[in-house]
């Protein structure tokens, strides 16, 4: 039987907040079973902390997947091309 692991850890819908935290990755990847998903949804519908944190977590993944503004110095690839010119 699980129990609270930190201050504010609540048992809602048969699931603790810390268990929601454990399930977040699977939730974002869509790999939770229907039963797990149902329990998670029951919890977050009554738990503002988990709902907002889960939303931010999911949004972070979306933001990274949409591509980050990496400084791409094109000269790196020009020098790579020069270095590889004699390959073969």
Partner 1 sequence: MSDPEASLIRRCAEGDQHAFQALVHRTQRPVWSLIRSLATDEGSAEDALQETFLSVWRSAASFRGEGSGRAWLFTVARRQAIRTWRRRVGEPTQAVPLHELGALAGWGQNPEQLMSMVDDKRLVSTALSSLSPTDREVIVLCDLEGMTGPEAGSVLGISPNAVRVRLHRARLRLMGQLREETDVTSEV
Note the residues at the interface with partner 1 (CB under 8 A): 5-6, 8-9, 17-18, 21-22, 24-26, 29, 48-50, 52-53, 55-57, 59-61, 63-65, 67-70, 72, 76-77, 79-81, 83-84, 87-88
40 neighbors 15 (Cβ within 8 angstroms): yes
Closer by beta carbon to partner 1, 45 or else 52: 52
Q: Shortest CA distance to 65 belongs to which of 13, 28, 30?
A: 28
For the CB of residue 51, give the shortest distance to partner 1 in the complex, in Å.
Answer: 8
For the CB of residue 82, give the shortest distance to partner 1 in the complex, in Å.
Answer: 9
Phi, psi (degrees; rounded to nearest 5) at 59: -70, -40
d(CA 6, CA 25): 20
For the CB of residue 30, give the shortest distance to partner 1 in the complex, in Å.
Answer: 12
Closer by beta carbon to partner 1, 35 or else 48: 48
DSSP-H helix ranges across 1-88: 17-29, 34-44, 48-65, 74-84
């Amino acid at each position: 039987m699980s129990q609270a692991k930190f201050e504010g850890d609540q048992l809602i819908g048969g699931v603790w907040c810390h268990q929601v935290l454990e399930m977040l990755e699977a939730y974002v990847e869509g790999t939770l079973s229907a039963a797990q998903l149902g329990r998670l949804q029951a919890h977050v519908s009554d738990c503002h902390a988990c709902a907002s944190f889960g939303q931010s977590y999911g949004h972070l993944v979306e933001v990274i997947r949409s591509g980050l503004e990496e400084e791409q110095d094109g000269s790196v690839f020009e020098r790579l091309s020069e270095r590889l010119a004699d390959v073969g």
